[in-house]
Structure 1
Amino acid sequence: MASKRKRLILLLSSCLVLVLLCFSVEAKCRSGCDLALASYYIWEGSNLTYISSIFNQTIPEILRQNPHVPNQDSIHSGTRINIPFSCECLTGDFLGHNFEYLTQGGDTYEKIARIAFANLTNGNWIQVVNIYDPTRLPNSVFINVTVNCSCGDSRVSEDYGLFETYPLRPGENLSSVANASGAPAELLQRFNPGSNFSAGSGIVFVPAKG
């Protein structure tokens, strides 16, 4: 009788562990949002035709999010423009969007992240979601490029629902990002806990105007 009781206790304990494990792996996101923005740093030689192709957005739609750019021939290297995209809950784990990129001669995961996608992601992150050896990336194949995004955090503020995925660059800091975005520095810190705005790399999420 005692043996049966011990087995029952062990069975109930195992069930409890399984329940706790199920709760621990509960989805970190349930849904995304229709619109997010990628803050794209214009590098020398890029143009809206190229940018629109890799983000699968029309030029008029991109210009609509950039009223400071009067036409497609007026973008200047060293400036930023906003690229619209949908922000989705991927695998229940994080908010992001998978873009398809057609590889070209000389491409590496790191080069695609740094140049084509202007540091909106990184080489390691691209490698994780693709099957090709990083030392032998074939030409003219489509690969996945995942860019993270944010739909806001109601625990911080319910006043903001549109966010930029913003790659930090050398020389920027919390003050300069706050001035550029118009968002209070304290709010930026609360939306990006633990982020170092002076790191010169990495991404933060910045409230944006629609």
Structure 2
Amino acid sequence: MTLLGTSDADTPRLYYGLSYSWNPQSSLRAFWFEEFFFERGAPSRWSDPGFTEATCDYIGKRILPVLKKLNDVVDILTFKHSLTAFRFKQALSYPLDRVHLDTGAGRLKDALAGCRWLSEQPRQTAIWSESACARIVDDMMPLLEVVDRPGLAVLLRNWEEEAVSRLGLTSLHETTPFAFELSSAS
């Protein structure tokens, strides 16, 4: 959940969003987020009586039920919500996020195709950093090419641990179940 100020200090901007932890470049900002608004007549300013309660109520009744449907990485990739479909689809088109998410979801052929595409692009662009691209192309792509599931699991877990530690979320973190691990265990 993200709260932003506006030019009017008493008017918050409220967002909810999705993120994932096995991107070594992760930040506390979600890769996708959506602004939300209260119904007309509800408290909408920090100073309004009942604003905190209205915010918690809205989150509990309108946002959490939608997000609770997301149990794994595959659910993130197939997430559909009428209010957010267009912006979410745009977020999934970002090449680096798409490779991370496809890999975590066990869509290894799609992830490899994304890696190969990235390998043909400049290492640094206005959209991604050289180090972010290099980690995917140099570290992940060789594992995808030989379908090294244990190696991919180790790589993604290392990236997950790195990001979670850097962000100070170790005490809150639960390890991500990757689809390719779950399917090979059954």
TM range (shorter): under 0.3
Between 1 and 2, higher relative CO (CA 8 Å, sep ≥ 6) is seen in: 2
More helix by share: 2
Q: What is the TM-score normalised by the length of structure 1?
A: 0.22
Structure showing greater Rg: 1
